[in-house]
Amino acid sequence: MEYPKFTQEHKSLMAKYLTKDVFDSLKDKKTVNGFTISDVVNSGVQNPDSGIGAYAGDEESYTTFAPFFDPIIEEYHGFTKNDKHQSDLNPDNLDAKNPDPDNKFIVSTRIRVGRNVDNMPLGPAITKEQRDEIEKVVSTTLSSLEGSLKGKYFPLDGMSKEDQDALIKDHFLFKEGDRFLETAGLNRNWPLGRGIYHNTEKTFLVWVNEEDQLRIISMQQGGDIKEVFTRLTTAIGELEKKMKFSFNEHLGYITSCPTNLGTAMRASVHIAVPKLAADMEKFKAICDKHHLQIRGIHGEHSESEGGVYDISNKRRLGVTEVQCVQDMYDGVVELIKVEKSLA
Ligand code: ADP
Ligand code: DAR
């Protein structure tokens, strides 16, 4: 196994922390699923513009390759190898009165968590058979949901291109062909084993076997952030009655990308702040102050359209789910206040 050939273009945390010494100390190790350090870093080696550049093949990757992952997790999350993650999925603890009841700024709200099935490899190391089994178990479990969560599972295999493109355009379905996921081994056997579940209103959705084995999503038009969070926590509670998700007291919920560890939660609004966005320095300063990330209108690696931005919490590990949503909410309140002041 050769040490990767890095160039000046490789600026990821992977390139920073995979020193030759660290590589030599790990190159002969394999996880129980046969995952190696070269497998972990392939995405970042092939994509020099990666921010992190590493994906775990299983929960064990985070301990087998700890000399590599620990400093990345510490730098990205400010979370040391001795810290313990805490979870709080109780919406009663969230102080989030709708900040935009007249819908002048917030187009829509979406809160998602990633989950992976306990005692199974993660997407980069899973076999086709294991992934197909996960699709069967998860889709069957979802199809037993009742009330407002009741809906239908739609396998990607056999879905018409028109239906698929419409769901992606309307922000409901994951995009295809992400090069970072491809080189992490997450797109193997595509589209087999992948699909989407959603209720009739498309306010509760679950992606199956994309970057994580489940992406549990609550979303709706407008800014009632507390209602979106309440629906999500209710759904998670229902699923946890029937499935066990990969979790440990140090890293919280286990995900393939280290950026999602802990809560694996991204709470976002699509918000129109055209006046503030005309001063990107000021816009970014407010987002930084509230630990917020700015994405484009179609999520990661996309651009804003019409002055509408995807604003979400950046912190996921070492904070609770309530704190993730509170980070986003508090930032959105200030963004709206400043946008109004510029009117
Ligand atoms: P993830 O949120 O799972 O990390 P992305 O950033 O790629 O992944 O976003 C996935 C999809 O969710 C994209 O289509 C994006 O436009 C949509 N999305 C994200 N936040 C919102 C929101 N607040 N309202 C509507 N759609 C959203
Ligand atoms: N492009 C990868 C992804 C980092 C975070 N986004 C995820 N996990 N979808 C990178 O290392 O930049």
For the segment 185-215, what is each residue's pLDDT rounded down to a tens digit? 999 999 999 999 999 999 999 999 999 999 9
Where are the chain's structural domains? 13-77, 91-342
Judge: domain 91-342, CATH 3.30.590.10: yes
Ligand nearest to the CA of 259: 2
- pLDDT for the residue 129: 98
Residue 270 in contact with ligand 1 by CB distance below 6 A: yes
Active site residue 64: no
Q: At 208, phi and psi to the nearest 5?
A: -115, 125
Ligand nearest to the CA of 304: 1
pLDDT higher than threshold 90 for residue 311: yes
CATH class of 13-77: mainly alpha
CB atoms under 10 Å from CB of 148, counted, come to: 14
Residue 310 in contact with ligand 1 by CB distance below 6 A: yes
Separation in Å, CA 231 to CA 15, 182, 186, 266, 336: 40, 32, 29, 15, 24
Residue 167 in contact with ligand 1 by CB distance below 6 A: no
Most informative mutation of 12, 259, 265 for ligand 2 (most atoms within 8 A of CB): 259
Active site residue 315: no
Residue 314 in contact with ligand 1 by CB distance below 6 A: no
- pLDDT for the residue 4: 96
Does 91-342 match 13-77 at the fold level? no
pLDDT higher than threshold 90 for residue 302: no
For residues 94 and 326, the answer to whether their CB atoms sit within 8 Å is yes
298 band by pLDDT with thresholds 50, 70 and 90: confident
Active site residue 215: yes
pLDDT tens digit sequence for 210-260: 999 999 999 999 999 999 999 999 999 999 999 999 999 999 999 999 999
